[in-house]
A = this chain, B = another copy of it.
């Protein structure tokens, strides 16, 4: 095999090369103060005049000369003949140097008596108390905040000279279609440059996105030349791997110098940096998560080294809910979902690789695993940088187990209670393990109807059944989906597609086939396992299989025929031995609400007559009271 990169340098080395190879562009622009938040001051901002410009009264009262008040006391009142009446904020005339509050005076005809001497400057806001003319308001390099704009307006400033950097972003790839165009099979929407423009725009860059360039070296070179001329930094998206159609590196070399190509970082290994006309050209890898690494770990630090604001970082210490492995020698960046269970923060890593863009949408943070570390055990405490408002963590319920679309309707409903759901599709067994380890708020189980207790005991050896409450979400019909209405007896004749061997539906089918004496090795595709019923429906719809195990609802929503085999109870399981969490109570109330039942019925394929029923297994499936004290319906 050919070596895919001439040299794979370390992240530290790459960053040090990057930061030392370019000088900061000196571009600035005038920005109205109303639009200056988040911008960096390029020219120091000085007050145009003093505030206040003349001494003002800080009270309602009379302005006096302090020396006229000397000797005044309770027993020796002094009558003030020379004074001016002032309200708070009024000018104190130059001949006076103190203000006496009106409640400390006694009016005597057109004069005032006082019984206490006034100190010089008493209740007078001196000229320049807030700021003096010509004094520094914001130094060069200051990052403007919302409340700074009010101060600038007060001190006479209407515009600032702010730093700006122009970034040209070039999307390359013959397989790309612009956003909004539905990709044909094999095509991909050009989304990485959108992400780059939005991300870099937030740290103060002015980005120009060039039209998509096909994978032809001459076209790439032409656009790159233009972009280098027009900008301070050029980002060229994709074409950065070592495939036959990856021209970015050779084009950069032909126009300038390639500083590095290939960094020991994951995702993002194919990242590259070039120098053309003394300007940096950053090559982004094509996979979305790899492109994110390049933007966050290369483009943002380069801008920061040029004096632009760092991307905001909210570090939190979390414990890992599951182990994560890492390649020795690679700096890895792993998306993590952080949630609070009890008093602790727990992080669940997303480990499905750089292709799965949904990971960063579902994650609310990421962690950096240094090159010298091979991974972390479950329970290890480490730092996660949040990508979301830290407060939202406190409003998020973590559910682990077997997922069903019934949950998506719930995720939308709970938001009306100010809550979020984070659900991981791990299967029943891992769901119960998470519940016992307290790395989730509730487990989601899909169990054969009518056998809760025995199934539960098979799943779990840590929490006694009496310490749990089952909340029935819905009854889900399982069976065989196909275009042609195949039943269990037909499956030896078709291309079958299966779900994972630990999935409840699979367990039922295995039992059924064994009962009928059908040898699974005779079933074409029986070993071809996909992640769940939706994946099965898709495989049938796109023609890669003829039939497979599916739920009634999902088969229906994909326009497939359905032959029922068995039904399962989809249950939310919570712990009775842990103090009840108001968020969980809100979730249970929503499951029990007519609104949720209506949504499930509209979605189709759910039996909802027991939705919301609460059961406690230790009492032999006897119904218990609802958390609000009413009898379950």
- A contact face: mostly helix, strand, loop, or mixed: loop
Is there a chain B Cβ closer than 8 Å to A156's Cβ? yes
Is there a chain B Cβ closer than 8 Å to A511's Cβ? no
Is there a chain B Cβ closer than 8 Å to A256's Cβ? no
Is there a chain B Cβ closer than 8 Å to A307's Cβ? yes
Complex contact A151–B534 (CB within 8 A): no
Is there a chain B Cβ closer than 8 Å to A229's Cβ? no
Chain B residues in 8 Å Cβ range of A519: none
Complex contact A191–B313 (CB within 8 A): no
One of B50, B143, B357 near A392 (C-beta < 8 A) = B143
Number of copies: 2
Known interface pairs A49-B182, A129-B355; A361-B314 also in contact (CB < 8 Å): no
Chain B residues in 8 Å Cβ range of A197: 34
Complex contact B34–A194 (CB within 8 A): yes
Chain A, residues 183-214, CB within 8 Å of chain B (1/0): the string is 10110111110110111001000000000000
A56 to B175 Cα, complex, angstroms: 13
From A364, which residue of chain B is reached at the shortest CB distance? B145
One of B392, B418, B542 near A54 (C-beta < 8 A) = B542
Known interface pairs A127-B542, A128-B534, A131-B358; A141-B192 also in contact (CB < 8 Å): no
Interface range, A side: 35 or more
Complex contact B182–A34 (CB within 8 A): no
Task: Give A96-114 interface residues, CB cut-off 8 Å to B.
Answer: 97, 103
Chain B residues in 8 Å Cβ range of A291: 150
Least distance between A13 CB and chain B CB atoms (Å): 21
A129 to B152 Cα, complex, angstroms: 52
Stretch at the interface among A463-471, A523-531, A586-594, A623-631: A523-531
Is there a chain B Cβ closer than 8 Å to A344's Cβ? no
Is there a chain B Cβ closer than 8 Å to A449's Cβ? no
Complex contact B153–A528 (CB within 8 A): no
A538 to B119 Cα, complex, angstroms: 20
Least distance between A483 CB and chain B CB atoms (Å): 13
Complex contact A130–B358 (CB within 8 A): yes
Known interface pairs A55-B544, A411-B136, A538-B128; A198-B34 also in contact (CB < 8 Å): yes
Is there a chain B Cβ closer than 8 Å to A292's Cβ? yes
Is there a chain B Cβ closer than 8 Å to A632's Cβ? no
Interface centre among A150, A190, A243 (most CB of B within 10 A): A150
Chain B residues in 8 Å Cβ range of A535: 126-128, 132
Complex contact B145–A356 (CB within 8 A): no
Chain B residues in 8 Å Cβ range of A119: 527
A192 to B195 Cα, complex, angstroms: 35
A195 to B126 Cα, complex, angstroms: 25
Complex contact B146–A195 (CB within 8 A): yes
A185 to B97 Cα, complex, angstroms: 17
From A244, which residue of chain B is reached at the shortest CB distance? B87
Is there a chain B Cβ closer than 8 Å to A217's Cβ? no
Complex contact A355–B125 (CB within 8 A): yes
Is there a chain B Cβ closer than 8 Å to A488's Cβ? no
Is there a chain B Cβ closer than 8 Å to A91's Cβ? yes
Q: A44-B412, A127-B539 are in contact. List 11 more A-B contacts (CB 8 A).
A: A37-B198, A49-B183, A53-B185, A58-B355, A60-B243, A125-B355, A136-B411, A140-B416, A143-B392, A149-B194, A310-B389
Enumerate 22 A-B pairs (CB-CB under 8 Å) in ascending A order.
Answer: A37-B198, A49-B183, A51-B357, A55-B542, A87-B243, A97-B528, A119-B527, A121-B530, A125-B355, A127-B539, A128-B535, A129-B355, A130-B358, A132-B538, A137-B358, A143-B388, A149-B198, A150-B288, A154-B191, A309-B389, A312-B389, A314-B314
